[in-house]
Amino acid sequence: MRVAVTGSIATDHLMTFPGKFVDQLMPDKLDKIALSFLVDTLEIRRGGVAANIAFGLGYLGLRPLLVGTVGSDFSDYREWLEQHGVDTSEVRESTHQHTARFVGTTDTDMNQIASFYPGAMTEDRSIDLGELAGRVDLVLIGASDPDAMLAFTKQCVASRIPFAADTSWQLARLDGEQVKTLMTGAEYLFCNEYEATLTVHKTGWTAAELTDQVGVQITTLGGRGARIDRAGHEPIMVPAVPGVEPAEPTGAGDAFRSGFLAAISWGLSLERAAQLGNIVAVHALESTGPQEYQLHPEPLTERFAAAYGDEAAAEIARHYI
């Protein structure tokens, strides 16, 4: 299965605060927040949800097609992605804007406060995904310029290209009708537990009605693993990987999507897909930077077996050796 990935392509500026955000928040003053966090470290890494997901898919051997807009400062990043199996032929270069930038600060509880400057990403709205009809089997519509996300969804529907919805970071900028447009008819919907609740709140749908709008809803649950919902089926609960030593959370959700879509591309079950998603997410979580992890077949299979059993690991090993 050939996957095209849309969404942000960015440089990440990752900082760590040696305390807890919650200790600095005064419940009776939340309407007048004025805070500055003195951080201990700054790491500058390659990032952006689309590039992160494509990186993971490329590492797993799928040769994904990355779609988006970057600045003239992207040449080294492009080379990096190509070296890791990503097709960047549909990445366009802006003549006057820089590549997008993510700035995030993480506390000791792995909570994160972040800002995002879109830069060249705002030009994604001029891309026509209809041109990919017949060339790809699935388009993941990730967090990007909101107008581009809406346009991509309509283009996929019009051109009958199956798509996966991944609104994630852009939920705060979208109203209820826009969220409905982005999700209705999606083959897959990716979200975390908070995003699923916010989606229900914004759309006015019940949780069951949300599930009815998509083929498969995948909800990541942090340290509790993941849940898969489909209309007319019992939920599939997939436990988390044990023994995780987190370093920095940026990109863990993107890595989950990489693992999940890779397993689906190999024709494996939804349960196996979520298990591989969890395994790849852990590799990202234990690294500082969303594209700094490595996926070597033997240790990955060993960790998979320890978490989900030898039979499950054998299925993965048949495709990733």
Nearest to 246 by CA among 277, 215, 222, 218: 222
Backbone angles phi, psi at 232, to 5 degrees: 80, 5
What is the token pair recorded at 161? Answer: 């290209």
- Average pLDDT estimate for 189-203: 94
Strand pairing partners for 238? 226
pLDDT confidence of residue 185: 96
pLDDT confidence of residue 33: 87
Q: Which residues of 147-162 are buried (b: 16+ CB within 10 A; e: fewer)?
A: ebbbbbbebbeebebe
Backbone angles phi, psi at 39, to 5 degrees: -100, 160
Residue 239 DSSP class: P
Q: Are strands 65-70 and 87-93 parallel, antiparallel or unpaired?
A: parallel
Q: Are strands 3-6 and 216-220 parallel, antiparallel or unpaired?
A: unpaired
Gap between the Cα atoms of 260 and 229, Å rounded: 14
Q: What angle do CA 118, 119, 121 make, to 5 degrees?
A: 65
What is the token pair recorded at 293? Answer: 């992890």
Clarify whether 254 is annotated catalytic. yes
Q: Which residues of 103-118 are buried (b: 16+ CB within 10 A; e: fewer)?
A: bbbbbeeeebeeebeb
Q: What is the pLDDT confidence band of residue 311, given thresholds at 50, 70 and 90? A: very high
Task: Tell me the average pLDDT of the chain.
Answer: 94
- Average pLDDT estimate for 173-201: 94
- Average pLDDT estimate for 282-302: 94
pLDDT over threshold 90, residue 248: no
pLDDT confidence of residue 169: 76
Among the listed residues 12, 175, 254, 310, the single catalytic one is 254
Q: Are strands 226-229 and 236-238 parallel, antiparallel or unpaired?
A: antiparallel
pLDDT confidence of residue 168: 84
Kindly state the percentage of the chain with pLDDT values over 70. 100
Per-residue model confidence as pLDDT tens digits over 257-276: 999 999 999 999 999 999 99
